[in-house]
Amino acid sequence: MGVFSNPAFDDHERVVFCHDAATGLSSIIAIHSTTRGPGAGGCRLWAYADEDAALTDVLRLSQGMSYKNAMAELPLGGGKAVIIKHSDFTGSDALYERFGEFVESLGGAYITAEDMGMSEAIMQVIGSRTSYVSGLPAEGGAAGGDPSPKTALGIYAGIRTAVEFRDARSSLSGLRVAVQGVGNVGYNLCKLLHADGAILLVADMDEARVARAVSEFDATPVGLDDVLSVDADVLAPCAMGAVLTEESIPDLRVGIVAGGANNQLAAPGDGQRLHDAGILYAPDYVINAGGIINVACEYQGGFTDADVDESVMRIGARLKRIFERSADNDVPTNRIADAQARRFIGRN
């Protein structure tokens, strides 16, 4: 499949293929739009089935970052990077340093941070070669560090808004939430929900992560194939994208889908399917913006951790406006959000 002909291309400004034989680095950096500022978005490390899958993923993610940053009213455009985890991948410092050099070579058109498979420690290695990096350890109450807890905080705010909007429920006590993926985001989300008395049903390919959620939050393990059809109030997808499909939506047994994974809808029409089924969908790039808000505050400087929390909690009000417009106009929430985001980046 070509780049320009890829269905996810959507007029990307730049797509950069980065290769380094010595370290085994194969990476793609995609910059969708710099209309609002430099393209900002995390770097994902993943064992893609093939290069086309990696390209499609980075294009979809980078477009999503344009939308996410615009909807969060940040002075940032949309970009994203993927590093392909080949079978002989070693994850050496030299590989991440080389990636940092590629980021640096773009002169600030792209700012990187953590996504799946990344950590603060890796960001520090990347940061030894470029200043266009965020998600570095924070000190003394300043904004910064691993963005996942802030992503989780925004999802928590969004779930509160969604249950209040749909079910007129102001307390999360006894709310049944199915969480797909209890990694960095899912784990922190479970922590917040558990503190409010929610009942958690969790699934993850990594059994140790499931065990941690069971022991710390009294969560009930659910099979990988069952988590999308379990009877609950809320489904929070916090693993890979494209989990809401023509096939999976009819099996959902929840009233709300509100989670952290990027690109949860396999196709835009899946938003209509959810809407027709009476399931309230919190558009992913609106509800999961907490991490990039943290990244932006760290990168800009001068913000405290408390400033970040205040800004992240505004995600609830932002979602409420989308839910209201969706209900008033009988239009799926994803279409309301997409139209607004595209207007914000001058692409309507």
**Residues involved in catalysis:** 80
Interface with ligand NAI, residue 242, by CB under 6 A: no
Q: Taking CB positions, which residue lies at the least distance from ligand NAI? A: 183
Distances (CA, A) of 256 to 22, 129, 292: 47, 43, 24
Sole binder of ligand NAI in the list 57, 114, 305, 309 (CB under 6 A): 114
Taking only Cα atoms into account, the Rg of the chain, rounded to an integer number of angstroms, comes to: 19
Q: Which stretch binds ligand NAI (CB under 6 A): 31-39, 164-172, 201-209, 299-307?
A: 201-209
Nearer to ligand NAI, 108 or 183 (CB): 183
Interface with ligand NAI, residue 288, by CB under 6 A: yes
How many residues line the site for ligand NAI (CB under 6 A)?
A: 28
Distances (CA, A) of 144 to 42, 98, 107, 141, 156: 14, 23, 22, 9, 19
Report CA torsion sign: 21, 23, 28, 33.
negative
The secondary structure of 243-262 as a DSSP string is -B-TTTGGG-B-SEE----S
**Token code pair at residue 239:** 């693993």
Interface with ligand NAI, residue 291, by CB under 6 A: yes
Q: What minimum distance in Å lies between the beta carbon of 52 and ligand NAI?
A: 19
Sole binder of ligand NAI in the list 136, 261, 319, 341 (CB under 6 A): 261
Sole binder of ligand NAI in the list 38, 77, 78, 260 (CB under 6 A): 260
Interface with ligand NAI, residue 206, by CB under 6 A: yes
Interface with ligand NAI, residue 205, by CB under 6 A: yes
Q: What minimum distance in Å lies between the beta carbon of 241 and ligand NAI?
A: 6
Sole binder of ligand NAI in the list 57, 115, 270, 309 (CB under 6 A): 115
Sole binder of ligand NAI in the list 36, 209, 273, 275 (CB under 6 A): 209
Instruction: Provide the 3-class DSSP secondary structure of residue 277.
Output: coil
Query: What would the x/- binding string for ligand NAI be over residues 171 to 200, using CB under 6 A?
Result: ---------xx-xxxx--------------
Interface with ligand NAI, residue 239, by CB under 6 A: yes
**Token code pair at residue 181:** 């993926």
| Contact between 193 and 259 (Cβ < 8 Å) | no
Half-sphere exposure of 107 (CA within 13 A, CB side): 1
Bridge partners (DSSP) of residue 244 are 265
Sole binder of ligand NAI in the list 53, 94, 240, 266 (CB under 6 A): 240
β-bridge pairing 77-84 and 39-40: parallel
Q: What minimum distance in Å lies between the beta carbon of 42 and ligand NAI?
A: 7
Give residue 164's identity as a one-letter amino acid code. Answer: E
Q: Which stretch binds ligand NAI (CB under 6 A): 121-129, 190-198, 236-244, 272-280?
A: 236-244
Nearer to ligand NAI, 174 or 268 (CB): 268
Interface with ligand NAI, residue 204, by CB under 6 A: yes
Place of tokens 């990244």: 295
CB atoms within 10 A of CB 116: 18
Interface with ligand NAI, residue 56, by CB under 6 A: no
CB atoms within 10 A of CB 324: 12
The secondary structure of 232-246 as a DSSP string is -SEEEE-S-S--B-T
| Contact between 260 and 189 (Cβ < 8 Å) | yes
Interface with ligand NAI, residue 238, by CB under 6 A: yes
Helix orientation angle between 184-195 and 148-167, rounded to the nearest 10 degrees: 50
Interface with ligand NAI, residue 121, by CB under 6 A: no
| Contact between 167 and 255 (Cβ < 8 Å) | yes
Q: What minimum distance in Å lies between the beta carbon of 203 and ligand NAI?
A: 5
Which residues are near ligand NAI by CB under 6 A? 114-117, 147-148, 151, 180-181, 183-186, 203-206, 209, 224, 238-241, 260-262, 288, 291
